[in-house]
C-alpha cells in the first residue's frame, strides 16, 4: 500500500480510502448486515488501508457507530474522516462534533469536513467553530466536501483547509476544468468519492435496467 500526506499536514493516509456511506444503510443502500460491515472495515485495515471516511449524515449517524465498533482496540491504526452537515452555526458545529466523537467511540477526529457549503450561515462562523475544535484537540485537520471554486475561494479568505472531497471518476470529470486546478494551486488535497460511480464502472451491471432505483439517474 502507498501512503501520502494529507494536504500540508503530517498525517499519512493510504492512497485507497474506504468510504463508509453504504454501512449506514437506509433507503438508498438498503438493509446492511452490521457484522459484515465490521468485517469489511477490519479486513481493509489488515490490508493496509488506514483511511476511513464517514459522515454524521450517513444513516443518521449509524455509519459512524459501525466504524467506531469496527475500530475498537485499533483506533491508533486508523485515520478517521467524518463530516458535519445540516446547520453550520458555531454552536451547532460544536454540538455535532460531540455527537460524532461519541458515535465513533474516540476522543479526536483526524479530518473533520464540512459536508456541503451553506447558503445561510456565513463561512466565517463555521470556520471559527472548526478552529475552536482544533484548539480543543478534538480535531486534527480540517476539510470540506463538494466545494466549487466560488465556495472554496470564500473559505480560503478566512482560513485554510487541507482537503476537498469531490465526485471524480471516468464518468464524472467536471472537477478537472476549474476545481482541481484551484486545489492544486493552494496545495489542497483532493479526496475522490464515487471513483467507480457507485458500481457503474465495475461491470456489475450489464444493462441500465439492472441499476437500482435511485442510481439510474447517474
pLDDT of residue 216: 63
pLDDT of residue 211: 83
- Active-site pick, 3, 28, 58, 108: 58
What distance in Å separates the CA atoms of residue 114 and residue 145, rounded to the nearest whole number? 6
State pTM to two decimals. Answer: 0.94
How many other CB atoms are there within 10 angstroms of residue 43's CB atom?
12
Indicate the pLDDT class of residue 129, thresholds 50, 70 and 90: very high
Q: Which tens digit of pLDDT belongs to each residue from 34-58?
A: 999 999 999 999 999 999 999 999 9
Could you confirm whether 58 is annotated as catalytic? yes
Q: Is residue 214 over pLDDT 90?
A: no
Q: How far apart are the first and last CA of the chain?
A: 31
What distance in Å separates the CA atoms of residue 80 and residue 138, rounded to the nearest whole number? 12
What mean pLDDT comes out for the span 107-131? 98
Whether residue 13 contacts residue 191, with contact meaning beta carbons closer than 8 Å, is answered with no
What mean pLDDT comes out for the span 143-158? 98
Could you tell me the sign of the dihedral formed by the alpha carbons of 13, 19, 23, 24, in that order?
Answer: positive
Give the closest residue to 107 by CA, choosing from 139, 81, 70. 139
Indicate the pLDDT class of residue 200, thresholds 50, 70 and 90: confident
Amino acid at each position: 500500500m502507498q501512503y501520502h500526506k494529507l494536504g500540508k499536514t503530517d498525517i499519512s493516509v493510504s492512497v485507497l480510502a474506504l468510504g463508509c456511506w453504504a454501512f449506514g444503510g437506509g433507503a438508498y443502500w438498503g438493509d446492511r448486515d452490521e457484522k459484515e460491515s465490521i468485517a469489511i472495515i477490519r479486513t481493509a485495515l489488515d490490508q493496509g488501508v488506514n483511511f476511513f471516511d464517514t459522515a454524521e449524515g450517513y444513516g443518521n449517524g449509524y455509519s459512524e457507530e459501525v466504524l467506531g465498533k469496527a475500530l475498537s482496540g485499533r483506533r491508533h491504526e486508523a485515520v478517521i474522516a467524518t463530516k458535519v452537515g445540516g446547520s453550520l452555526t458555531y454552536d451547532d458545529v460544536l454540538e455535532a462534533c460531540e455527537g460524532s466523537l461519541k458515535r465513533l467511540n474516540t476522543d479526536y477526529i483526524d479530518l473533520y469536513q464540512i459536508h456541503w457549503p451553506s447558503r445561510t450561515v456565513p463561512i466565517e462562523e463555521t470556520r471559527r467553530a472548526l478552529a475552536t475544535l482544533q484548539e480543543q484537540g478534538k480535531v486534527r485537520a480540517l476539510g470540506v466536501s463538494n466545494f466549487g471554486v466560488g465556495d472554496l475561494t470564500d473559505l480560503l479568505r478566512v482560513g485554510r483547509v487541507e482537503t476537498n472531497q469531490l465526485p471524480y471518476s471516468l464518468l464524472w470529470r467536471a472537477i478537472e476544468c476549474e476545481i482541481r486546478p484551484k486545489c492544486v494551486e493552494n496545495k489542497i488535497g483532493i479526496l475522490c468519492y464515487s471513483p467507480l460511480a457507485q458500481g457503474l464502472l465495475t461491470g456489475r451491471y450489464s444493462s441500465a435496467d439492472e441499476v437500482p432505483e435511485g442510481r439510474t439517474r447517474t
